[in-house]
């Protein structure tokens, strides 16, 4: 019998006992008593029908549940370490599989079209969209510079756009199927040669842009023109490969004339040979040569040493959540967390961030132009022992005299501006040690008091402030330099001996 039927039966029994008269008081009291009793009986039946586990079984079940929820610190730590190692391995594999990287500096006389070519490259490689180009076209037209709009991609500040000349080193990035490129757009005006030198010191190869327009080529190539000086500076700062781009062939004074191209080639090739470049390999024949992109892709990367001591000349620094330094890695590799020494101040720092082509990376090797965020190391922190770059105020060098001002003589006491990697310092020639025989390339025995244009000499050079340099034989990138005076390059040289600061 179910519960409802029992309740109805109890209610009927209650009516019989009260002579068929149901009063509220009697119904409630009797009904509740019998209902409670029925509920108790039903509860007992239910408990008898459901088996109750014994204490041992209940305890075992509890232990099984607890086993799954219990925290195991050792296993969690091991798993975290494995995940970290796998992540680092994946990052290193991705770094290893990155495309090769090449730094390309565009050099040449003012108005040769360097910035315009750089802008065209970025547009054709998809780095700039049509909307941005339309904006530049309108801006150039408003300034009455309609033909310069492509140059605005590289010339970003207002001064450059108003004057129509590059003042600072423009920097941009693009990629081909096999190579990542960093473009360095150097100024061509003679007033900014020191900035051009900074760009050349960060590059692996150079692109010499020559204007074919009648009169422009001649102005750049004649004595005092920047075409000549830029070639000499490129060679001095280690640009062993130089691509020659003859620009403005569509100019009305040229009209794609092969005769004009041949004329320029006949004049420029002997000068390139005299400057130390091998021009036998013609990779761009007039009639069937590869495109500029194909030439860039085919260039061999200069040898680099990822395992050598870390060397990165600082070309600039700024504050952004700490100190950020910029430069090109000339030797060795850098990782996030590395401890380094900034010379010549011997300041110990830690690397907290590395940025390459606007992307944050964990590590970087030689040839990369980087922004590195650093922080100081406290006295109680471990300072690793490194091989810092030498610091000097005096050094011995082998010097090639190019062209002295007003046919002056070069002797002890001669003062000039020294340009060596990212360093620009006033210097003085304190001693001429010997003159070099240009035929045998060996020092001559007779004592030398002075030399003139075209001579080679071994001399001792002194600077006012301590500088960081290396011997050319150890680190060519940090051991080659130029001497300039009154805005003109008068000599190039290489460091042969170092004196302590």
pLDDT category at 89 given cuts 50, 70, 90 is: low
Residue 461 and residue 486 in one domain: yes
Backbone angles phi, psi at 185, to 5 degrees: -95, 105
The token pair that represents 322 in the structure block: 């700490």
Q: Report yes or no: 344 and 466 within 8 Å, Cβ to Cβ.
A: yes
Reported confidence tier of residue 374, pLDDT bands at 50, 70, 90: very high
Quick check: is 216 in a domain? yes
Q: What is the pLDDT of residue 20?
A: 39
Residue finishing a domain among 376, 400, 429: 376
Task: Tell whether 402 and 372 lie within a shared domain.
Answer: no
| Cα–Cα distance, 263 to 218 (Å, whole number) | 11
Q: What is the pLDDT at residue 60?
A: 46
E strand or H helix at 56: helix 55-69
Domain shared by 232 and 360, yes or no:
no
**Same domain, yes or no, for 329 and 246?**
no
First-to-last CA distance in the chain? 111
Which residues are bridge partners to 392 per DSSP? 467
Cα dihedral 252, 219, 109, 301 in deg (nearest 10): 90
Band of residue 9 on the pLDDT scale cut at 50, 70, 90: low
Residue 14, pLDDT above cutoff 50: no
Question: What is the arithmetic mean of pLDDT over 151-169?
Answer: 71
Instruction: Examine the domain organization and report whether 183 and 124 are in the same domain.
Output: yes
Kindly state whether residues 245 and 333 are assigned to the same domain. Answer: no
Q: Is residue 45 in a domain? A: no
- CATH of residue 359's domain is 2.40.30.10
Q: Is the pLDDT of residue 462 over 70?
A: yes
Peptide bond into 89 cis (omega under 30): no
The rounded distance, in Å, linking the Cα atoms of 79 and 95 is 24
Which pLDDT value is given to residue 280?
61
Asked if residue 149 and residue 235 are part of one domain, the reply reads yes
Instruction: Place 377 in a pLDDT band, splitting at 50, 70 and 90.
Output: low
Task: Domain of residue 328: give its range.
Answer: 314-376
Indicate whether 198 and 338 sit together in one domain: no
Is pLDDT at 153 greater than 50 in this prediction?
yes
- Please give the pLDDT value at position 267: 92
Judge whether 262 and 68 are in contact, CB under 8 Å. no
Top-confidence residue, 453 or 149: 453
Choice among 16-20, 435-439, 466-470 with the minimum mean pLDDT: 16-20
Residues 180 and 279 in one domain: yes
Spatial distance between the Cα atoms of 180 and 169, rounded to a whole number of angstroms: 19
Residues 150 and 294 in one domain: yes
196 pLDDT above the threshold of 60: yes
Tell whether 108 and 246 lie within a shared domain. Answer: yes
CATH code for position 108: 3.40.50.300
- Of all residues in the chain, the percent with pLDDT exceeding 70 is 77
**Interval 332-340 mean pLDDT:** 91
Average pLDDT over residues 238-259: 90
> In the prediction, which pLDDT does 500 show?
65
* pLDDT at residue 299, as a whole number: 84
159 pLDDT band (50/70/90 cuts)?
A: low
Instruction: Categorize the per-residue pLDDT at 32 as very low, low, confident or very high, splitting at 50, 70 and 90.
Output: very low
- Mean of the pLDDT values across residues 223-227? 82
Encode pLDDT of 427-444 as tens digits.
999 999 999 988 888 888
Do 401 and 338 belong to one domain? no
Average pLDDT of every residue of the chain: 79
Q: What is the pLDDT of residue 378?
A: 61
The reported pLDDT for the residue numbered 325 is 93
Query: Which pLDDT score, from 0 to 100, does residue 128 have?
Result: 83
Report the domain count for the chain. 3
Query: What average pLDDT does this structure show over 96-104?
Result: 80
Here the tokens at position 287 are 């009639």
Reported as a pLDDT band with limits 50, 70 and 90, residue 190 is confident
CB contact at 8 A, 293 and 176: yes
Mean pLDDT (whole number) for 259-263: 91
The pLDDT score that the predictor gives to residue 58 is 45
Is pLDDT at 15 greater than 80 in this prediction?
no
């Amino acid at each position: 019998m179910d519960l409802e039927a029992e309740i109805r039966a109890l209610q009927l029994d209650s009516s019989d006992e009260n002579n068929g008269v149901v009063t509220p008081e009697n119904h409630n009291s009797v009904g509740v008593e019998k209902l409670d009793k029925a509920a108790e009986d039903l509860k007992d039946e239910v408990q008898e029908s459901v088996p109750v586990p014994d204490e041992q079984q209940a305890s075992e079940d509890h232990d099984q549940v607890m086993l799954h929820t219990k925290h195991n610190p050792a296993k969690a730590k091991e798993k975290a370490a494995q995940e970290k190692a796998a992540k680092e391995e994946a990052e290193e594999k991705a770094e290893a599989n990155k495309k090769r990287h090449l730094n390309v500096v565009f050099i040449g006389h003012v108005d040769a079209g360097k910035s315009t070519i750089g802008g065209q490259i970025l547009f054709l490689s998809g780095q700039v969209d049509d909307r941005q180009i339309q904006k530049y076209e309108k801006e150039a037209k408003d300034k009455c510079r309609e033909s310069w709009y492509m140059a605005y991609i590289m010339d970003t500040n207002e001064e450059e756009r108003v004057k129509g000349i590059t003042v600072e080193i423009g920097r941009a990035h693009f990629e081909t199927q096999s190579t990542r490129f960093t473009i360095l757009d150097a100024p061509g005006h003679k007033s900014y040669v020191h900035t051009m030198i900074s760009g050349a010191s960060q590059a692996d190869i150079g692109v010499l842009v020559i204007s074919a327009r009648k009169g422009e080529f001649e102005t750049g190539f004649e004595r005092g023109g920047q075409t000549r000086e830029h070639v000499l500076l490129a060679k001095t700062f280690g640009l062993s490969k130089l691509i020659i781009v003859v620009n403005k062939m569509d100019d009305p004074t040229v009209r794609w004339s092969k005769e004009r191209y041949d004329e320029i080639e006949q004049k420029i090739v002997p000068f390139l040979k005299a400057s130390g470049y091998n021009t036998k390999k013609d990779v761009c024949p007039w009639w069937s040569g590869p495109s500029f992109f194909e030439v860039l892709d085919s260039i061999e990367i200069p040898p680099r040493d990822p395992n050598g001591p870390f060397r990165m000349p600082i070309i600039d620094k700024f504050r952004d959540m700490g100190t950020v330094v910029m430069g090109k890695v000339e030797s060795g590799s850098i990782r996030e967390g590395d401890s380094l020494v900034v010379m010549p101040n011997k300041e110990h720092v830690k690397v907290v961030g590395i940025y390459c082509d606007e992307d944050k990376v964990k590590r970087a090797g030689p040839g990369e132009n980087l922004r590195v965020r650093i922080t100081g190391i406290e006295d109680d922190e471990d300072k690793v022992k490194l091989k810092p770059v030498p610091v000097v105020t005096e050094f011995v060098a082998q010097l090639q005299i190019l062209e002295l001002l007003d046919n002056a003589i070069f002797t002890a006491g001669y003062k000039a501006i020294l340009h060596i990697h990212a360093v620009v310092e006033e210097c003085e020639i304190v001693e001429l040690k010997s003159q070099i025989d240009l035929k045998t390339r060996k020092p001559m025995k007779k004592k030398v008091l002075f030399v003139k244009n075209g001579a080679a000499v071994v001399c001792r050079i002194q600077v006012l402030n301590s500088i960081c340099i290396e011997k050319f034989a150890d680190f060519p990138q940090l051991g080659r330099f130029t001497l300039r005076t009154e805005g003109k390059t008068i000599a190039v040289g290489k460091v042969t001996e170092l004196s302590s600061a």
